[in-house]
Amino acid sequence: MRGFNKVVSSYQEAMAGLSDNMTIIAGGFGLCGIPEGLIKEIENIGAKGLTVVSNNCGIDNFGLGILLKDKQIKKMVSSYVGENAEFERQYLSGELEVELTPQGTLAEKMRAGGAGIPAFYTATGVGTPVAEGKEVKQFNGRDYILEESVTGDFAIVKAWKADKIGNLIYRDTAMNFNPMAATAGKVTVAEVEEIVEVGELDPNHIHTPGIYVNRIIQGSFEKRIEKITLAKN
């Protein structure tokens, strides 16, 4: 399956084609399930003016936060952007544009983008600042707002296992936004913990079918934890 072998051997190849002012959809929730190496490669490339669609924006020195530090990000579309002092500074000074989006709406916007659905109605955000400028329509007597989907020039995701043709399996809550992000990129790049031969993954257990994935790279992950909480003895 030559035409389906999506494995690349360098981060340069993985992110080839990224340039200024592009939109990047990123998987991950906090620091959990983020494509650490792909983010570092974006830092290396130094592309500026990026729009990044991701539930969070990392922390000051890890995850997407490193792109803030370098002022590579023009706009963030996120549901929660705490834990990040540089973010706060850029936002308050007006350097950074922020589109706060409810978490479920953000997940659905990515899914819809990948699924060819340009917009959908949701009750989430009705009557709140999120509804400003959006069309309101009643269904069965309740108000809903129209939310448009998102797609990216690139989608960057983190998976546990991939086979060489791009079928992906996630592990535990490191799945989070990754499956939707994977569907929403013109070019989708997956950074994974393990690459296996085609046929090793059970077809019934695949979370992201390979059709969505363009490039796969074997990563090495630090997997930093934001809040280690332990059972009391």
Please report, as residue ranges, which positions from 95 to 134 form the binding site for another protein (by CB under 8 A): 98, 100, 102-108, 110-111, 113-117, 122-130
What is the rounded distance in angstroms from the CA atom of residue 190 to the CA atom of residue 155? 8
Structure tokens at 168: 């992906």
Q: Does 148 bind another protein (CB under 8 A)?
A: no
The residue type of 45 is I
The footprint of its own copies on this chain (CB under 8 A) covers a number of residues equal to 25
Strand 185-196 to 152-163 pairing: parallel
* Contact with its own copies (CB under 8 A) among 2, 92, 132, 139: 139
Under rule CB under 8 A, which residues in 149-188 are in contact with its own copies? 169-172, 175
Binding-site string for its own copies from residue 70 to residue 109, where x marks contact by CB under 8 A and - marks none: --------------------------------------x-
DSSP labels for 83-127? S-HHHHHHHHTTSSEEEE--HHHHHHHHHHHHTT--EEEESTTTT
Q: Are 176 and 27 a contacting pair, CB within 8 Å?
A: yes
Q: Does 129 bind its own copies (CB under 8 A)?
A: no
Applying CB under 8 A, the span of 24-32, 64-72, 134-142, 183-191 interacting with its own copies comes to 134-142
* Contact with its own copies (CB under 8 A) among 9, 93, 140, 229: 140
Q: Does 61 bind another protein (CB under 8 A)?
A: no
Residue 93 touches which member of its own copies, another protein, none, C-beta under 5-8 Å by kind: none
What is the rounded distance in angstroms from the CA atom of residue 227 to the CA atom of residue 96? 27
* Contact with another protein (CB under 8 A) among 26, 210, 217, 219: 210
* Contact with its own copies (CB under 8 A) among 29, 87, 144, 154: 144
* Contact with its own copies (CB under 8 A) among 129, 203, 227, 230: 203
Q: Where are the beta strands (DSSP E) in 130-214?
A: 136-139, 142-148, 152-163, 168-169, 185-196
* Contact with another protein (CB under 8 A) among 51, 54, 90, 176: 176
| Residue among 72 and 105 whose Cβ is closer to another protein | 105
Classify burial at 204, counting beta carbons within 10 Å of its beta carbon; exposed 0-12, middle 13-18, buried 19 or more.
exposed
Count of CB atoms situated within 10 Å of the CB of 170: 21
Residues in a beta bridge with 109: none
Task: List interacting residues with its own copies (CB under 8 A).
Answer: 108, 112, 115-123, 137, 139-140, 142, 144, 148, 169-172, 175, 203-205
